[in-house]
Amino acid sequence: MLTGAILRDVTLRDGLQLTGKVLPTERKAEIVRELLALGVPELEIGSMARPDLVPPMANTLELVAELTPDELARSWVWVATPRHVEKAAAAGVRNFQYCFSVSDAHNKANIGRTTEDSLAAMPDAVRIAQEAGGRIQLCLATAFTCPFDGPVDPQRVLAIARDARAEGAADIVIADTLGQAHPAQVTSLISAVAASGRWGTPEHRIVFHGHDTWGMGVANSLAAIAAGARVVDGSLGGLGGCPFAPGASGNTSSEDLLFGTRPEWFTPDTLAALVPISERLLAELGEPNRSRVAEGSRSKADAFEWVIRTQE
């Protein structure tokens, strides 16, 4: 496993939210159980976003009700306000990803408030999460570029990361929402966050959330790991993107990230089980499979142990 980093699969949140389709609750639960059974350490399973704005997230709390406490202990839900945390906690959620954008323009488009307003509300979100016995992450979207304002000043990211109002967060998520960053940028920003004095430890992890819009998803994720990230986000087949960020296409493929990082639990047999799970879901959604590893696994290079051999 590359420097101890783990994968969080975000298919059921960031993966689904651009599809426009509501996957049935029982189907979502099936995917949760399939991925956890294979060994995927953590999942992002849904969002408290308004159903009229992000329809695929409409049954998030129904999914939460279907899962066991052990399954929920490995699952994260996206929230943007203290009220979101309160509603999710009442439903049984214990892992909350409190997300807002570094750029005001995107935060207003995505959440309807300024970045400062979101940061000011975070202590209440932290308090509610902790009173429920849960954990909360600080998630910074548009940490590299904004679809409306262009490049984002790294100092703005670091100022939020160091802000006392975020001290209750367990982890910090640095998101390349548009997939426009390159590895040197990722190395620089993740290293700076790690050097800020709080983040980058087992207790306060740095999470890198990358997109593969410009083909740098895996390269950027590996750069983030080398710079101190302990978790990287991916989705099955590279599914997903942000509906409020023009130009944000699919996430980095979970299959590609696993093949690149090689955690101990990920074997050729695991890949052979994972690829059909991904293929079935993408076929149901009518979405393309953007995973290069999935493509390679279906090749005829039979001498390579990672190729999936069909039964004769």
Alpha helices in the chain (DSSP H): 25-38, 60-66, 69-72, 82-91, 104-110, 115-131, 154-162, 183-194, 217-227, 254-261, 268-285, 292-297
What φ, ψ does residue 32 adopt, rounded to 5°? -55, -50
pLDDT above 70 coverage of the chain, percent: 96
Contact assessment for residue 12 and residue 278, using Cβ atoms and an 8 Å cutoff: no
Query: What does DSSP say about strands 145-146 and 135-141: parallel, antiparallel, or unpaired?
Result: unpaired
CA pair distance 166, 46, nearest whole angstrom: 22
pLDDT tens digits along 122-178:
999 999 999 999 999 999 999 999 999 999 999 999 999 999 999 999 999 999 999
pLDDT tens digits along 35-73:
999 999 999 999 999 998 899 999 999 999 999 999 999
> Among all chains, which residue has been given the structure tokens 């703005």?
156
pLDDT at 311: 53
pLDDT at 245: 55
pLDDT tens digits along 77-110:
999 999 999 999 999 999 999 999 999 999 998 8
Residue 309 clears pLDDT 80, i.e. is over it: yes
Q: Residue 277 is encoded by which pair of tokens?
A: 């799970």
Name the pLDDT band for 242 (thresholds 50, 70, 90).
low
CA pair distance 216, 182, nearest whole angstrom: 6
CA pair distance 40, 56, nearest whole angstrom: 22
**How many Cβ atoms from other residues are within 10 Å of residue 262's Cβ?**
11
CA pair distance 202, 253, nearest whole angstrom: 24
CA pair distance 271, 258, nearest whole angstrom: 9
pLDDT tens digits along 185-220:
999 999 999 998 889 999 999 999 999 999 999 999
Q: Is-catalytic flag, 139? A: no
- Entry pTM: 0.95
pLDDT at 123: 98
3-state class (DSSP) for residue 141 = strand
pLDDT at 21: 82
Identify the sign of the CA torsion 224, 225, 226, 227.
positive
> Among all chains, which residue has been given the structure tokens 């992000």?
54
What φ, ψ does residue 206 adopt, rounded to 5°? -100, 130
What φ, ψ does residue 9 adopt, rounded to 5°? -85, 125
Residue 246 clears pLDDT 60, i.e. is over it: no
Q: Give the pLDDT mean for 1-25.
A: 86
Residue 310 clears pLDDT 90, i.e. is over it: no
CA pair distance 95, 101, nearest whole angstrom: 20
CA pair distance 125, 235, nearest whole angstrom: 27
pLDDT at 19: 85
CA pair distance 168, 84, nearest whole angstrom: 17
5 or 227, which is more confident: 227
Could you tell me which of 84, 181, 173, 94 has the C-alpha nearest to residue 129? 94
Choosing from 99, 139, 146, 242, the catalytic residue is 242
pLDDT tens digits along 5-14:
899 999 999 9
